[in-house]
Chains A and B, each alone.
Chain A
Amino acid sequence: MFNRFKSALLSSVGAAESAAAAAQAAVTDGAEAAGGPAARPAKFAYGRPAFLQLETEDELQVAGDRVIRPIIVPRDSSRLPWTAGYAEAVNAGKSKRNEDAAAVYTGVLHQPPPGGPAGDGDGDGLQRTGRSVPYYYFGLFDGHAGHGASVAAAHQLHHIIHERLVDVLDHLLPPDPSAAEAAPAPGVRAASLWIPAEEVAPEKLVTGALEAAFNDMDALIAEDRLKYDMRGGCTAVVALLLLGRLYVANAGDSRATYCRHGRAVIASHDFTPETERHRVRQLACQQPALTGGEFTHLDFARRVGRRDLGKRVLYRDAHMTGWAYKTVTERDLRFPIVCGDGKRSRVCATIGVTRGFGDHDLKAQNTNVNIKPFLSSQPQVLVVDLEEEAVTESDVLVMATDGLWDVISNERAAELVEQSLAAFPADDVTKRRYRCTSAAQDLVMSARGKLKERLWRLSDGTMATIDDISVFVVPMLPYREEHLLWKLGQEASAVRCAPAEPPSGVRQVSEPAQLDRYQSLVEQCGRPSPPAGTSPSGNPSGAAAAAAAAAAAAAEDPVETGVEPEFADAETGEPAAANGPVPAANGPSGTPPAAEQVGTVPVTWFGGEDATPVSRPAPR
Chain B
Amino acid sequence: MSYAYLFKYIIIGDTGVGKSCLLLQFTDKRFQPVHDLTIGVEFGARMITIDGKQVKLQIWDTAGQEAFRSITRSYYRGAAGALLVYDITRRDTFNHLTTWLEDARQHSNSNMVIMLIGNKSDLESRRDVKREEGEAFAREHGLIFMETSAKTAANVEEAFINTAKEIYEKIQEGVFDINNEANGIKLGPQHSPAAAGGMAAGGLGGSQGGGCC
Contact = CB atoms under 8 A, between A and B. Distances in A.
Interface stretch (A65-73, A142-150, A550-558): A65-73
Contacts of B68: 438, 441
B21 to A, nearest CB: 14
A453 interface: no
Interface string B29-49: 000000001011111010000
Chain B: interface secondary structure? mixed
B67 interface: yes
A68 B77 contact: yes
Given A58-B45, A62-B58, A423-B67, A434 B74 contact: no
B123 interface: no
Given A68-B74, A68-B78, A434 B37 contact: yes
B75 A68 contact: yes
A204 interface: no
Contacts of A77: 39
A68 B58 CA distance: 14
B78 A87 contact: no
Interface in B176-210: 181
Contacts of A451: 74, 77
Contacts of A70: 40-41, 60, 75
Contacts of A98: none
B168 to A, nearest CB: 21
A497 B132 CA distance: 74
B42 A75 contact: yes
A442 B63 CA distance: 13
B136 interface: no
A438 B39 contact: yes
Nearest to A62: B43
A450 interface: yes
B50 interface: no
B70 A445 contact: yes
A354 interface: no
Given A58-B58, A67-B77, A451-B74, A441 B43 contact: no
A58 B42 CA distance: 12
Contacts, number: 49
A59 interface: yes
Interface in A217-262: none
A73 B78 CA distance: 21
B71 A445 contact: yes
Contacts of A423: 67
Contacts of B42: 75
Interface string A414-457: 00000000010000000100100110011001000011000000
Nearest to A69: B74
Contacts of B75: 68, 70
B104 to A, nearest CB: 15
A441 B77 contact: no
B43 A58 contact: yes
B45 A71 contact: no
B173 to A, nearest CB: 26
A450 B39 contact: no
Contacts of A71: 40-41, 71
B39 A437 contact: yes
Contact of A434 (B39, B43, B45, B58): B39
A17 B10 CA distance: 46
Nearest to A71: B40
A56 B37 CA distance: 22
A67 B78 contact: yes
Given A67-B77, A441-B68, 4 more contacts: A62-B43, A441-B39, A441-B71, A451-B74
24 contacts: A58-B58, A59-B43, A62-B43, A62-B60, A63-B43, A67-B181, A68-B78, A70-B40, A70-B60, A70-B75, A73-B40, A87-B40, A434-B37, A434-B39, A437-B39, A438-B39, A438-B67, A438-B68, A441-B68, A441-B71, A442-B71, A445-B70, A450-B74, A451-B74
